[in-house]
Amino acid sequence: MINIGILGANGYTGEQLMKILSTHSQANLEIMSSRSEQGKKITDVYPNLTLLKNKTFSGLDLDALSKMDVVFSCLPHAASSELCSKLYKTGVKVIDLSADFRYKSLDIYQNTYKVKHADPELLKTAVYGLPEINREKIKKSSLIGNPGCYTTSSILPLYPVIKEGFVSSSGIIIDSKSGTSGAGKKADIALNFVEVNESFKAYGVTTHRHTSEIEEVLSLNTDKNVTVNFTPHLLPINRGILSTIYAPLQKQVDENEIYDLYEKYYSNETFINITKDLPQIKWVTDSNNVFIGFRIDKKNNLLIIISVLDNLIKGASGQAVQNMNIMFGFDETTGLI
């Protein structure tokens, strides 16, 4: 049994973490900090978390957090790095759900997020927490940069086909759609029900911050210079991501060869499912699963890949717990199936 703290526990990812960890056989949820909800009972804010009815949100207490075995940070970028750095240096294992420790390049991070990193040296130490690619590094790490939701839905389907030279490392188009919870729990007119319902829109066209994360992670792990065009869209649903990826083929292949390649990479991965059908968001709601399907467009020489995941689970909190399980030597699926 390990003792766990959560920074910024009041948001959507914090709620999802509390929900998963409250039923995790090896987890003791000890500290759930929230500046805005400090002193309130967990169930006053989230009545569904009945297993935590005797727990309250606390204020920020770094001394108490430093006594935990692991701390999850659900704080925004920039705010997260400073506190994570302090906790990491006390010997606590840290899993950061912001972007602050996802990058190896300080320049790319700072240019993308327009802030200065609080502890640039730790970027060399942190491990990108995508288990299906970095499992062995995660086992040895005490500082994890938990991937973003859009990036997970893009990197997992592209990694095998780029690495094996089936598709080009440039000219890739990623067209992603996410439910509104992907924007976090905040007051924003653009996310109000009336603004979102019965509508559908693109945003961050050519400028979205996840583009650089996708490119850096794929480039580092395939030894190729990967560039993508990434466009996100807002769906009028609560949760879920569907990404449609258009990748130029570099060799003549049929769909069986693509299927076999994905099976080679992911057949032993509990949460990755390769399907010959085209996946839908409802297949993954409230799960840590990813489904990947594809078609070959022979006329345009394109591999078209469809991936789906739940942005709050495999795209955030579930993946964070998966990383925790690996770090502490638990069965990777504990608390997640």
pLDDT digits (tens, 9 = 90+) for 98-143: 999 999 999 999 999 999 999 999 999 999 999 999 999 999 999 9
Confidence of residue 182 (pLDDT cuts 50, 70, 90): confident
* Residue 89 sits in the same domain as residue 181: no
* Residue 170 sits in the same domain as residue 302: yes
Q: What is the pLDDT of residue 192?
A: 75
* Residue 113 sits in the same domain as residue 229: no
Average pLDDT, the chain: 96
Residue 324, in any domain of the structure = no
Residue 94 has pLDDT above 60, yes or no: yes
**Of the candidates 65, 92, 125, which is a domain's last residue?**
125
* Residue 186 sits in the same domain as residue 288: yes
**Residue 269 is part of which domain span?**
149-311
* Residue 303 sits in the same domain as residue 175: yes
Rounded-to-integer distance, Cα 44 and Cα 235, Å: 29
Q: At what angle do helices 318-328 and 12-21 cross, to 10 degrees?
A: 50
Of the chain, the percentage scoring pLDDT greater than 90 comes to 93
Residue 317, in any domain of the structure = no
Residue 295, in any domain of the structure = yes
Instruction: Report the CATH number that the domain containing residue 97 is assigned in CATH.
Output: 3.40.50.720
Q: What is the pLDDT of residue 70?
A: 98
Confidence of residue 37 (pLDDT cuts 50, 70, 90): very high
- What size, in residues, is the chain? 337
Residue 130, in any domain of the structure = no
Catalytic choice (70, 130, 149, 196):
149
* Residue 253 sits in the same domain as residue 121: no
Flag whether the pTM goes above 0.75.
Answer: yes
Residue 163, in any domain of the structure = yes
Is 74 one of the annotated active-site residues of the chain?
no
Residue 328, in any domain of the structure = no
* Residue 85 sits in the same domain as residue 209: no
Residue 13, in any domain of the structure = yes
* Residue 287 sits in the same domain as residue 204: yes
Confidence of residue 297 (pLDDT cuts 50, 70, 90): very high
Confidence of residue 18 (pLDDT cuts 50, 70, 90): very high
Residue 137, in any domain of the structure = no
Higher pLDDT, 257 or 182: 257
- Chain-centroid distance, C-alpha 250: 29
Domain count, the chain: 2
Residue 223 has pLDDT above 90, yes or no: yes
* Residue 154 sits in the same domain as residue 116: no
Average pLDDT over residues 307-331: 98
* Residue 153 sits in the same domain as residue 103: no
* Residue 118 sits in the same domain as residue 179: no
